[in-house]
Amino acid sequence: MSERHESPRAAPRTVTAPPGLLGLPPRRLLMLLGALLLGGAAQALSVVQAAFVQPWTRWNAGAAVLLLRAFGLQAATHGTLLALDDATLDVRAGCNGLVALLLLGSAILAFPAPWRRRATGIAVAAALVFALNALRLGTLVLIARYAPARLEFLHLYVWQPLMALSAFAIFLGWGKRLACAKAPRQAPPAGMADGVASG
Protein backbone atom coordinates (compact mmCIF):
# COMPACT_ATOMS: atom_id res chain seq x y z
CA MET A 1 0.00 0.00 0.00
CA SER A 2 1.62 3.24 -1.10
CA GLU A 3 1.75 6.25 1.16
CA ARG A 4 0.69 9.62 -0.13
CA HIS A 5 2.79 12.61 0.82
CA GLU A 6 1.07 15.96 0.59
CA SER A 7 3.23 18.93 -0.22
CA PRO A 8 3.18 21.59 2.50
CA ARG A 9 0.97 24.54 1.76
CA ALA A 10 2.50 27.94 1.55
CA ALA A 11 1.59 30.34 4.31
CA PRO A 12 -0.94 32.96 3.23
CA ARG A 13 0.65 36.24 2.27
CA THR A 14 -0.63 39.45 3.76
CA VAL A 15 -0.81 42.35 1.37
CA THR A 16 -0.47 45.80 2.83
CA ALA A 17 -1.51 48.94 1.08
CA PRO A 18 1.45 50.94 -0.21
CA PRO A 19 2.13 54.18 1.63
CA GLY A 20 1.25 57.39 -0.05
CA LEU A 21 3.60 60.10 -1.20
CA LEU A 22 6.33 61.02 1.33
CA GLY A 23 5.44 57.87 3.27
CA LEU A 24 2.17 59.36 4.49
CA PRO A 25 -1.15 57.50 4.38
CA PRO A 26 -3.36 58.94 1.63
CA ARG A 27 -5.83 60.44 4.11
CA ARG A 28 -3.09 62.26 6.02
CA LEU A 29 -1.51 63.43 2.77
CA LEU A 30 -4.85 64.86 1.64
CA MET A 31 -5.21 66.65 4.99
CA LEU A 32 -1.73 68.14 4.60
CA LEU A 33 -2.31 69.31 1.03
CA GLY A 34 -5.79 70.58 1.87
CA ALA A 35 -4.54 72.62 4.81
CA LEU A 36 -1.75 74.10 2.68
CA LEU A 37 -4.12 75.04 -0.15
CA LEU A 38 -6.83 76.43 2.13
CA GLY A 39 -4.34 78.36 4.23
CA GLY A 40 -2.63 79.83 1.19
CA ALA A 41 -5.93 80.80 -0.41
CA ALA A 42 -7.26 82.27 2.84
CA GLN A 43 -4.30 84.62 3.13
CA ALA A 44 -5.31 86.22 -0.16
CA LEU A 45 -8.78 87.14 1.15
CA SER A 46 -9.17 90.78 2.12
CA VAL A 47 -10.96 89.91 5.36
CA VAL A 48 -8.11 87.61 6.43
CA GLN A 49 -5.57 90.24 5.41
CA ALA A 50 -7.28 92.88 7.52
CA ALA A 51 -8.07 90.67 10.51
CA PHE A 52 -4.91 88.58 10.75
CA VAL A 53 -2.11 89.05 8.19
CA GLN A 54 -1.65 92.81 8.50
CA PRO A 55 -1.90 92.91 12.33
CA TRP A 56 0.51 89.96 12.59
CA THR A 57 2.97 91.74 10.29
CA ARG A 58 2.75 95.04 12.21
CA TRP A 59 3.13 93.29 15.57
CA ASN A 60 6.10 91.32 14.26
CA ALA A 61 7.81 94.51 13.09
CA GLY A 62 7.03 96.06 16.49
CA ALA A 63 8.56 93.07 18.26
CA ALA A 64 11.73 93.51 16.18
CA VAL A 65 11.85 97.18 17.26
CA LEU A 66 11.55 96.19 20.92
CA LEU A 67 14.38 93.72 20.44
CA LEU A 68 16.62 96.34 18.86
CA ARG A 69 15.80 98.93 21.50
CA ALA A 70 16.74 96.43 24.19
CA PHE A 71 20.30 96.71 22.81
CA GLY A 72 20.22 100.51 22.79
CA LEU A 73 19.46 100.96 19.09
CA GLN A 74 17.07 103.70 18.00
CA ALA A 75 14.71 101.67 15.83
CA ALA A 76 11.16 102.62 14.91
CA THR A 77 8.21 101.18 13.05
CA HIS A 78 5.55 102.80 10.86
CA GLY A 79 2.95 100.20 9.98
CA THR A 80 4.90 97.47 8.24
CA LEU A 81 7.99 99.69 7.77
CA LEU A 82 10.92 98.94 10.05
CA ALA A 83 13.48 101.74 10.32
CA LEU A 84 16.92 102.01 11.90
CA ASP A 85 18.59 105.38 11.34
CA ASP A 86 18.51 105.83 7.55
CA ALA A 87 17.86 102.15 6.74
CA THR A 88 14.28 101.01 6.16
CA LEU A 89 12.75 97.59 5.59
CA ASP A 90 9.25 97.04 4.25
CA VAL A 91 7.94 93.82 5.81
CA ARG A 92 5.87 92.24 3.06
CA ALA A 93 4.24 88.87 2.48
CA GLY A 94 6.88 86.18 2.61
CA CYS A 95 8.92 88.15 5.14
CA ASN A 96 6.45 87.99 8.04
CA GLY A 97 6.94 84.32 8.93
CA LEU A 98 3.47 83.24 7.87
CA VAL A 99 4.77 80.87 5.19
CA ALA A 100 6.72 78.95 7.82
CA LEU A 101 3.70 79.01 10.11
CA LEU A 102 1.46 77.70 7.31
CA LEU A 103 3.81 74.79 6.60
CA LEU A 104 4.19 74.02 10.28
CA GLY A 105 0.50 74.32 11.09
CA SER A 106 -0.49 72.13 8.13
CA ALA A 107 1.96 69.43 9.21
CA ILE A 108 0.62 69.50 12.77
CA LEU A 109 -2.99 69.33 11.56
CA ALA A 110 -2.20 66.27 9.42
CA PHE A 111 -0.42 64.51 12.28
CA PRO A 112 -2.34 61.66 13.99
CA ALA A 113 -2.85 63.26 17.39
CA PRO A 114 -5.80 64.40 19.53
CA TRP A 115 -7.28 67.69 18.39
CA ARG A 116 -6.51 69.35 21.72
CA ARG A 117 -2.81 68.53 21.36
CA ARG A 118 -2.83 69.68 17.75
CA ALA A 119 -4.39 73.02 18.75
CA THR A 120 -1.82 73.44 21.52
CA GLY A 121 0.97 72.58 19.10
CA ILE A 122 -0.18 75.19 16.58
CA ALA A 123 -0.43 77.87 19.30
CA VAL A 124 3.08 77.13 20.58
CA ALA A 125 4.40 76.97 17.01
CA ALA A 126 2.87 80.38 16.23
CA ALA A 127 4.59 81.93 19.25
CA LEU A 128 7.95 80.41 18.32
CA VAL A 129 7.68 81.45 14.66
CA PHE A 130 6.66 84.97 15.72
CA ALA A 131 9.70 85.31 18.00
CA LEU A 132 12.09 83.81 15.45
CA ASN A 133 10.85 86.09 12.67
CA ALA A 134 11.19 89.14 14.92
CA LEU A 135 14.83 88.15 15.40
CA ARG A 136 15.11 87.73 11.64
CA LEU A 137 13.72 91.21 10.95
CA GLY A 138 15.96 92.77 13.57
CA THR A 139 19.10 91.25 12.09
CA LEU A 140 18.07 92.17 8.54
CA VAL A 141 17.51 95.83 9.37
CA LEU A 142 20.89 95.85 11.11
CA ILE A 143 22.47 94.46 7.93
CA ALA A 144 20.57 97.04 5.86
CA ARG A 145 22.05 99.78 8.08
CA TYR A 146 25.64 98.62 8.39
CA ALA A 147 26.26 96.23 5.45
CA PRO A 148 23.58 96.84 2.80
CA ALA A 149 25.51 94.96 0.12
CA ARG A 150 25.02 91.72 2.07
CA LEU A 151 21.30 92.21 2.68
CA GLU A 152 19.99 90.23 -0.30
CA PHE A 153 22.30 87.29 0.34
CA LEU A 154 21.37 87.04 4.03
CA HIS A 155 17.68 87.52 3.31
CA LEU A 156 17.40 84.93 0.54
CA TYR A 157 20.13 82.39 1.22
CA VAL A 158 20.54 82.44 5.00
CA TRP A 159 17.31 83.41 6.71
CA GLN A 160 14.91 81.74 4.26
CA PRO A 161 16.47 78.28 4.75
CA LEU A 162 16.84 78.94 8.48
CA MET A 163 13.12 79.64 8.79
CA ALA A 164 12.25 76.43 6.92
CA LEU A 165 14.69 74.36 9.00
CA SER A 166 13.39 75.94 12.20
CA ALA A 167 9.81 75.06 11.28
CA PHE A 168 10.93 71.47 10.65
CA ALA A 169 12.78 71.36 13.98
CA ILE A 170 9.73 72.71 15.84
CA PHE A 171 7.57 70.03 14.24
CA LEU A 172 10.04 67.29 15.18
CA GLY A 173 10.23 68.59 18.74
CA TRP A 174 6.45 68.66 19.04
CA GLY A 175 6.14 65.16 17.61
CA LYS A 176 8.82 63.81 19.94
CA ARG A 177 7.14 65.38 22.96
CA LEU A 178 3.83 63.90 21.85
CA ALA A 179 5.40 60.46 21.44
CA CYS A 180 6.95 60.68 24.92
CA ALA A 181 3.57 61.62 26.39
CA LYS A 182 1.95 58.60 24.72
CA ALA A 183 4.64 56.13 25.83
CA PRO A 184 3.54 54.05 28.84
CA ARG A 185 5.58 54.53 31.96
CA GLN A 186 7.41 51.42 33.02
CA ALA A 187 7.24 50.40 36.65
CA PRO A 188 10.62 50.02 38.39
CA PRO A 189 11.90 46.50 39.07
CA ALA A 190 10.53 44.83 42.19
CA GLY A 191 13.89 44.82 43.96
CA MET A 192 14.42 48.50 43.29
CA ALA A 193 10.92 49.38 44.44
CA ASP A 194 11.43 47.40 47.65
CA GLY A 195 14.72 49.12 48.24
CA VAL A 196 13.19 52.56 47.82
CA ALA A 197 10.29 51.66 50.10
CA SER A 198 12.52 50.24 52.80
CA GLY A 199 14.91 53.18 52.63
Q: What ranges do the domains of the chain cover?
A: 24-179
Q: Please, are residues 160 and 133 in contact by the beta-carbon 8 Å criterion?
A: no
pLDDT at 181: 74
**Alpha-carbon distances of 127 from 23, 38, 81, 121, 122, rounded to whole Å:** 29, 21, 21, 10, 9
DSSP letter (8 states) at residue 5 = -
Does residue 22 come out as left (phi exceeding 0), alpha (psi in the -120 to 50 range) or beta? left
**Average pLDDT, stretch 159-167?**
94
pTM of the entire structure? Answer: 0.78
Residue 198: pLDDT over 50: no
3-state secondary structure (DSSP) of residue 89: strand
Which has the higher per-residue pLDDT, 107 or 14? Answer: 107
Which has the higher per-residue pLDDT, 27 or 120? Answer: 120
Residue 174: pLDDT over 80: yes
Rounded to a whole number of angstroms, the distance between the first and last alpha carbons of the chain is 76
Share of the chain above pLDDT 90, in %: 65
pLDDT at 12: 53
Q: Rounded mean pLDDT of the chain?
A: 85
Which residues are CB-contacts of 97 (< 8 A; sequence separation ≥ 6)?
60, 129, 130, 132, 133, 136, 163
Distance CA 132, CA 177 (A): 21
Which has the higher per-residue pLDDT, 42 or 13? Answer: 42
pLDDT at 185: 57
